[in-house]
Structure 1
């Protein structure tokens, strides 16, 4: 497994733009399985709630490979608000503040212990401190209660 995280600029990670679809609480499956009332995942360092923003990458090649959908995790005390949609469309262009990427090896496609049977790949997990519309100011300050 590749360890460590790296700060990355939006234009480098998503040169063709990124579009937000939804924000939802990140579920802590251990809490859910134990029957806890509050099953939202918390950041290990700050204890703040974790939110998942489901997005679509504007890169046509990623779409052709079936890798256009991704999630970005935001750690915040209250649910972040999605940017406004482009007039007349359902598309919500988004930029993330302090975007960080975590590369890791996704071995879910590996069967057996031999290399010929393994179709593992490098995958990426993204985290940010907030989000905003590319044409406007920060949305991280405009939030709604969880």
Structure 2
């Protein structure tokens, strides 16, 4: 069997020191589609399912992560906007676990030097039990 395009991973594989929501879930705009009469862009849809694409910024709590790699975007494909879990941690950011998380490798051309990068997608998210540091 050939390697799948989207590689299934666990949250702990990608974020061994934890993942924290640092912003709201937002619609991903389709910049390849034409603008609407009011000048706005339509929301991107997944070519495989036809469902809407949403994204949320996530902080990688790895203290050794480079500054450029500290915040990662996780995308969702869903009919309606995913709702983040309630933050009961006492911290400013919501600790989260992703369900159905996949990673897709691609080559990023930044500064004229190609590097391997990852695109992340999840089916859902749930609260992660973390005690606040006093």
Q: Go from structure 1 to structure 2 and tell me whether the alpha carbon gap of 1:120 and 1:38 turns closer, same or farther (over 3 Å shift).
A: closer
- 1:16-43 CA distances to partner (integer Å, 9 max, x unpaired)? 0000122100110022xx2226610001
In the alignment, what sits opposite 2:132? none
- 1:66-112 CA distances to partner (integer Å, 9 max, x unpaired)? 311010110111111112224443110111111000111111321xx
In the alignment, what sits opposite 1:7? 8
Q: For 2:46 and 2:58, locate their aligned partners in 1 and report how far apart those are by CA, in whole Å.
A: 21
Gaps of 5+ in 1: 111-118, 136-146
**Structure 1 length as normaliser, TM-score?**
0.76
Q: Alignment partner for residue 82 of structure 1, among 72, 76, 84?
A: 84
Q: For 1:17 and 1:23, locate their aligned partners in 2 and report how far apart those are by CA, in whole Å.
A: 18
1:9-88 maps to which residues of 2 (within 5 A)?
9-21=10-22, 22-31=24-33, 34-36=34-36, 39-62=42-65, 64-88=66-90
In the alignment, what sits opposite 1:132? 126
80-89 or 120-129, which deviates more: 80-89
What SS does the corresponding residue of 1:107 show, helix, strand or coil?
Answer: strand
The structure with the largest helix share of the pair is: 1
Q: What is the number of residues matched between the two proteins?
A: 122
In the alignment, what sits opposite 1:121? 115
Tell whether the 8 Å contact from 2:87 to 2:127 is kept in structure 1 after alignment: no
**Structure 2 length as normaliser, TM-score?**
0.83
What's the RMSD between the two structures over aligned residues?
1.7
